[in-house]
């Protein structure tokens, strides 16, 4: 009976201890993994305790022990080599492996201070729904803005251009090209080749300009247009008194003019490219040189040579399109096309000749001979011809006689540069 009372008394003490003192578990070597972003680590195992650090999502830690809902963990050393120990809530981690030993606490825990009302944290995500750890990605820098060389307000400067020019047909070219056709039509004559008129030349200009706005301005300047062509062919002419005669004939006309011009400009400006239209009038000072010669290839002492030169001025017009590539604020590269319309008529000049044969020599100069154009009936066809005479040619075979016109109508392709100030 006495023994039974003793047993019941000990069981009552144990029951009282377990009812009024919560059990504590000490964990040794527990591996836990953080399952929330930036889990908080507190100084004490309480939510309102001082926060001493945080642990990123996915980090794996080793807990030294468990006190209630808190694991005691040791944070990695910081940059100064200092390592601290704190507590992380069980809701922020997941236990990977554990070796837990139940033991009674040596000292009862301090009563927890009153907990402030806070919004309960959301339930932790499961491992299946956890987002992958953040990765660093490369974001390219924004593109640099395109440089702009546009200028506002009035500007002035210099524009220089040069290139090649193509001349349309004129009276002189038509007459030269018709000579070889006429000779080919003659019986007993063999022609090797064809005479060519003047078609290509050079065109250069320099101009001062003033722009009221980026879209409107004017300019004035001068230039040089020069073109010439030496054309030689060989021919054989049958002779009734002996062997055929062989000759080499050469035509060499030259055209040159210096224009003084005024242009109006209308532009479409852009950040790096301008499109500019221009048109204007000019005063063209022209000079025209004519040279024709032939030589007897069997007897070089037999030859003939004639020259004629005239000067004439005329008004003309020009227009074109330029593309300006801005390489700097004050400098642009120019690519352009330009057409012109200018005609010279009533041309008179000094005519000289030299005629040398085996028996005589004749030479002389005739002043102020006019250049005439006609269509001449040669008996084997009608061909355009030019003549130098102080009177209008007339007589059998002459048709549509008029003063010759030398036009320098054509188109030029130019490149150059523009300097703005």
pLDDT in tens, 35-88: 888 888 998 898 888 888 888 888 888 888 888 889 898 888 877 777 788 999
**At the top level of CATH, which class does the domain 23-102 belong to?**
mainly beta
- For the stretch 350-363, pLDDT in tens is 999 999 987 888 99
pLDDT attached to residue 120: 62
- For the stretch 183-198, pLDDT in tens is 888 898 999 989 999 9
Q: Give dist(CA 253, CA 266) in Å, integer.
A: 38
25 within 8 A of 105, measured Cβ to Cβ: no
Q: Give dist(CA 272, CA 361) in Å, integer.
A: 68
Mean of all residue pLDDT scores within the chain? 84
- For the stretch 141-170, pLDDT in tens is 776 555 555 556 689 999 999 999 999 989
Confidence label for 32 from pLDDT (cuts 50, 70 and 90): confident
Alpha-helical (H) ranges within 171-272 are 171-185
Q: Look up tokens 């990123």; give the residue.
A: 56
Is residue 248 classed exposed, middle or buried when 0-12, 13-18 and 19+ CB atoms within 10 A define those classes? middle
Confidence label for 31 from pLDDT (cuts 50, 70 and 90): confident
Q: Give dist(CA 370, CA 367) in Å, integer.
A: 9
Q: What's the half-sphere exposure (Cβ side, CA atoms, 13 Å) at 40? A: 14
228 within 8 A of 254, measured Cβ to Cβ: yes
- For the stretch 286-295, pLDDT in tens is 999 999 999 9
Which range has the top average pLDDT, 92-96, 136-140, 143-147, 336-340? 336-340
Residues paired with 65 in a beta bridge = 72
Q: Is the pLDDT of residue 238 over 70?
A: yes
In eight-state DSSP terms, residue 29 is S
β 398-403/361-377 pair status: antiparallel
* Cβ density class 383-421: b for 16+ within 10 Å, e for less: bbbbbbeeeeeeeeebeeeeebebbbebebebebebebe
Q: Give dist(CA 229, CA 177) in Å, integer.
A: 12
Q: Structural domain boundaries of the chain?
A: 23-102, 155-420
Terminal C-alpha separation, the chain: 125
pLDDT attached to residue 101: 41
Q: Write phi, then psi, for 285 (nearest 5 degrees).
A: -100, 110
Q: Give dist(CA 393, CA 309) in Å, integer.
A: 20
Q: Is the pLDDT of residue 371 over 50?
A: yes
């Amino acid at each position: 009976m006495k023994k039974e009372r003793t047993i019941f008394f000990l069981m009552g003490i144990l029951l009282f201890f377990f009812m009024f003192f919560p059990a504590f578990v000490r964990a040794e070597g527990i591996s836990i993994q953080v399952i929330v972003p930036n889990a908080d680590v507190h100084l004490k195992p309480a939510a309102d305790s001082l926060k001493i650090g945080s642990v990123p999502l996915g980090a794996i830690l080793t807990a030294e022990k468990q006190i209630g809902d808190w694991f005691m963990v040791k944070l990695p050393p910081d940059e100064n080599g200092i390592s601290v120990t704190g507590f992380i809530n069980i809701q922020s981690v997941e236990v990977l492996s554990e070796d837990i030993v139940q033991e009674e606490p040596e000292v009862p825990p301090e009563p927890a201070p009153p907990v402030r009302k806070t919004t309960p944290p959301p339930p932790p995500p499961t491992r299946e729904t956890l987002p992958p750890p953040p990765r660093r990605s490369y974001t390219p820098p924004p593109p640099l803005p395109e440089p702009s060389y546009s200028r506002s307000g009035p500007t002035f400067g210099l524009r220089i251009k040069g290139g090649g020019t193509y001349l349309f047909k004129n009276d002189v070219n038509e007459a030269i090209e018709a000579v070889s056709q006429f000779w080919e039509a003659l019986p007993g004559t063999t022609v090797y080749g064809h005479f060519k008129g003047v078609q290509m030349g050079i065109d250069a200009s320099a101009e001062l300009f003033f722009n009221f706005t980026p879209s409107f301005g004017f300019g004035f300047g001068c230039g040089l247009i020069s073109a010439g062509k030496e054309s030689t062919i060989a021919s054989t002419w049958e002779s009734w008194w002996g062997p055929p005669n062989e000759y080499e004939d050469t035509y060499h006309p030259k055209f040159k003019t210096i224009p003084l011009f005024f242009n109006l400009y209308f532009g479409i400006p852009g950040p790096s490219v301008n499109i500019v239209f221009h048109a204007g009038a000019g005063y063209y000072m022209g000079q025209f040189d004519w040279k024709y010669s032939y030589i007897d290839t069997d007897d070089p002492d037999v030859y003939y040579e004639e020259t004629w030169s005239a000067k004439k001025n005329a008004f003309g017009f020009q227009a074109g399109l330029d593309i300006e590539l801005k390489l700097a604020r004050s400098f642009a590269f120019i690519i352009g096309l330009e057409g012109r319309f200018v005609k010279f008529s009533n041309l008179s000049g000094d005519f000289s000749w030299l005629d040398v044969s085996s028996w005589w020599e004749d030479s002389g100069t005739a002043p102020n001979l006019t250049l005439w154009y006609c269509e001449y009936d040669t008996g084997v066809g009608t061909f355009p011809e030019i003549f130098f005479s102080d009177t209008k040619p007339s007589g059998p075979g002459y048709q549509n006689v008029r003063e010759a016109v030398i036009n320098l109508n054509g188109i030029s392709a130019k490149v150059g540069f523009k300097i703005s100030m």
